[in-house]
Amino acid sequence: MKKIAKYLLAMTLLSAVEPAAGQSNNPLLQDWKTPHQTPPFSKIRNEHYIPAMREAIKEAEKNIDNIVSMKEAPTFKNTIVALQTASDKVERISGILFNLNECNTDSELQNIVMELTPELTRFSNSVNMNPKLFARVKAIYDKRNSLKLTTEQRTLLEDTYLGFIRNGVNLEGDDRKTFAENSEQLSQLSQQMNRNVLADNNNYILHITNREDLSGLPENVMAAAQDEAKERGLEGWVFTLAYPSFGPFITYADNRGLREQMWRAYNSRGNRGNENDNNDVIRKMTYLRYQQAHLLGYKNYCEYVLSNRMCNTPEKLWGFLSEMYEAALPSAERDLREVTEFAQELGASLPLERWDFSYYSEKLKQKKYDFDEELLRPYLQLDKVRQGIFDLYGRLYGVTFREVKNIEVYHPDVKVFEVMDGKRFMGVLYLDMHPRASKRSGAWKTTFREQSNIDGKQIRPLVQVVCNFSKPVGNKPALLSFDEMETFMHEMGHAMHCLLTDCTYPSLSGTSVKRDFVEMPSQVMENWCYESAFLNTFARHYETGDTIPGEYIKKIKAAEKYLAGWMCLRQLNLGIVDFSFHTIEKPIEERIEDFEREHMKDLLSPVEGANTSTAFTHIFAGGYASGYYGYKWAEVLDADIFSKFKENGIFDKATAKAFRDKILSKGGTEHPSVLFRNFMGRDPDKKALMARCGFEE
């Protein structure tokens, strides 16, 4: 944070943050006199977090004590609703601390997170395992059928009650102590996992000084690598493990030896036997998770997680994964055979290695469809894509986005937008689009503040979308690949789930839904990327202004199913490995890459020293443990839902309004299966997904 303070001062119109009477000078504890009470990032320094969090925890503990010691009989309002607001300051500070640790961190901030994480876990345990507090909750829960509760209130009551049970409130003696200690260890190990992957990501570069080694790479990729080298004070070209650098290199570079070097570096993160190694982290986490589940009476961690999901048992999940695997396997085998035969025609050595597949599959794609996706990049200028997405949401839901300069940002790359529905303020959207050493890889949506409307006090969300897209190069603007545009659409789907929510309680708003439903609203938006009626609204050449050629759009559609089996099998394999880690009933003793190799049914030969799991932050640091299958599960839902948009018209306002009213605005106030039925009028059908992937053929 200190490093960018001068940029923040120069690039934002700062609003005064005046302490209320009796408050300290710590900005994290003050009432923010900023637009929409947005975080005053220029005022917040690393040294503020620890004292602010400890003060916030004390205040929250006092609020909890007040609920517990209340003389009045427990009611929905004085207990269940009171719990929703008891930890407001803790939530506010956590929303800043952990989000910035993901996207704008430094070693000092990482150490602060490691210090505060166990303290936050102890506080959480003190609430979740408080028997007197639970007694009040249970008293309300036991008479729920006689209370006149709305659907949302009933959901909140049930979630609150189950939350206590699932967090060990009924445990006693040594079991209670072990559960609390394990949860502290797990929270720290999760942060350590992220820290290790980021460090390994940053500790590797490929420095090229011989131009011949760049053969095959597109001009924009080489230019970006040259800019990277200049930023580092080096001659030549520098490639990193950030995906806009790694992805094109592994796809286009003719130099097989360098492709192998890059591939091995990327796929050995967390598995290099150095101080960032995640093998022990994963061994500890998986067994601690098993212990937690076992203490609560479950056979394994997967059973524990799924007991609160749409896919509610390991048996049901395994059946889903197996069914999808069997459907995808013949197609995936054809994909591999076709790419292998083509590579052989080009003189490739067989069998194909993992660093060969992207390279030869891209060349085959160009031959089959007479199309190179790099030709799309000049038509996908980031600013134009962003406006195209904004306009799409305007067309569907009537919302508008206005860039503002009077809201502070935590880094000069960040842009801020006010989102409006007519005259109604819907929330603030922060967009952070480009990679840097202080940001973890990938793309995600998060929030600095959730939406709520308790006692008529309407709080609108502060939503953040973070990506790692190609940077501007030289005088050229940032130009996206088609995949990057699709990722942008995906994350904006999550963002709009938050921005269009209209719930009462923050723990149920926005994306606070069951994990195997959360990806549906984001994945459904990806479908528009393949529609000419949408692409024609914004895809124009950044130099000439020409619209994207119709023949390009036809080729995008024609290639939509290319490698569908291969990609589906890859996603399913990740779900299977996740399932395998979380159905263990004894400690993992072997190397993590050996465990992965045993359970991942991949079609290419394994590579010594490489694996996915030691950098699989989704399941070890991102909340997707026993839930990675949710991406594929949600594909069934999104394909089915988009079929209704296709039937009625992809810009049909009535369909969009129904989707908004019956799903997006509802957050987690009802079970996802009910929300789906309310919109579609029936249960999900796999036919749309099978057709989209070509598995019916």
The set of catalytic residues is: 491
CB within 8 Å of 495: residues ≥ 6 apart: 429, 445, 463, 465
Burial category of 110 from C-beta neighbours within 10 Å (exposed 0-12, middle 13-18, buried 19 and up): middle
Residue 253, SS3 per DSSP:
coil
- Burial code (b: 16+ CB inside 10 Å, e: under 16) for 594-622 equals ebbbeebeebeeebeebbbbbbbbbbbbb
Asked if residues 427 and 453 have their Cβ atoms less than 8 Å apart, the reply is: no
Neighbours of 232 (CB within 10 A): 11
DSSP state of 16: P
The Cα 314–Cα 306 span in angstroms is 7
Burial category of 69 from C-beta neighbours within 10 Å (exposed 0-12, middle 13-18, buried 19 and up): exposed
- How is 595-653 classified by DSSP, letter by letter? HHHHH---SSPP-TT--SGGG-HHHHHSS-TTTTTHHHHHHHHHHHHHHHHHHH-TT-H
Kind and range of the H or E run holding 208: strand 206-208
| Length reported for the chain | 697
Using CA atoms of 285, 107, 103, 28 in order, give the dihedral in degrees to the nearest 10.
Answer: 100
Query: Vertex 120, ends 114 and 125: CA angle to 5°?
Result: 130
Q: What is the largest CA-CA distance in the chain?
A: 82
Helix (H), strand (E) counts: the chain: 27, 9
Sign of CA dihedral 628, 630, 632, 635: negative
Closest of 516, 525, 514 to residue 660, by C-alpha: 525
Closest of 186, 202, 203 to residue 282, by C-alpha: 186
CB within 8 Å of 95: residues ≥ 6 apart: 447, 448, 449
The Cα 41–Cα 44 span in angstroms is 5
- Burial code (b: 16+ CB inside 10 Å, e: under 16) for 259-274 equals bbbbbbbbbbbbbbee
Residue whose token pair is 């207990």:
79
Query: Vertex 493, ends 643 and 308: CA angle to 5°?
Result: 85
CA-based radius of gyration for the chain:
25
CB within 8 Å of 133: residues ≥ 6 apart: 64, 67, 68, 127, 164
Query: Which residues are registered as beta bridge partners of 463?
Result: 429, 447
The Cα 244–Cα 242 span in angstroms is 6
The Cα 279–Cα 273 span in angstroms is 9
SS (H, E, C) 344-359: HHCCCCCCCCHHHHHH
